[in-house]
Amino acid sequence: MKGITVDSDSKVVQVKFAVVYAPKRSRGRFAETCVYIMESEVDALEEADASKKLFAAKVIGPSKSSEGQRIYYLDDWLE
């Protein structure tokens, strides 16, 4: 995602594996309440459930939006 810097020193903004609640997979950012961080890519793939609109993804975050919300940016959907 352009404009997002991964902070390897402070561990604040990082690339993480997650399961994301996404009614529409066309979005590029998600509120923290829709993102469930997983320990690994395998865990994210196992917890994904398309019938519940829960998809495995690689995300970048958390970051703070201009509205003050903590959000994650989509890096890539996992298959």
3-57 per-position pLDDT tens digit: 555 555 556 689 999 999 999 889 899 999 999 999 999 999 999 999 999 999 9
Q: Is residue 37 part of a domain?
A: yes
7 within some domain? no
68 within some domain:
yes
Q: Residue 35: inside a domain, yes or no?
A: yes
Determine contact, residues 59/38, Cβ cutoff 8 Å.
no
Domain that includes residue 21, residue range: 14-77
Cα(62)–Cα(31) distance, rounded to whole angstroms?
9
- Name the token pair of 10: 């402070």
Counting the structural domains of the chain, the total is 1
Domain presence at residue 45: yes
pTM metric for this prediction: 0.83
54 occurs within a structural domain = yes
Q: What is the pLDDT of residues 55-68, one digit of tens each?
A: 999 999 998 888 88
In a domain, 8, yes or no: no
- Asked if residue 62 is part of any domain, the answer here is yes
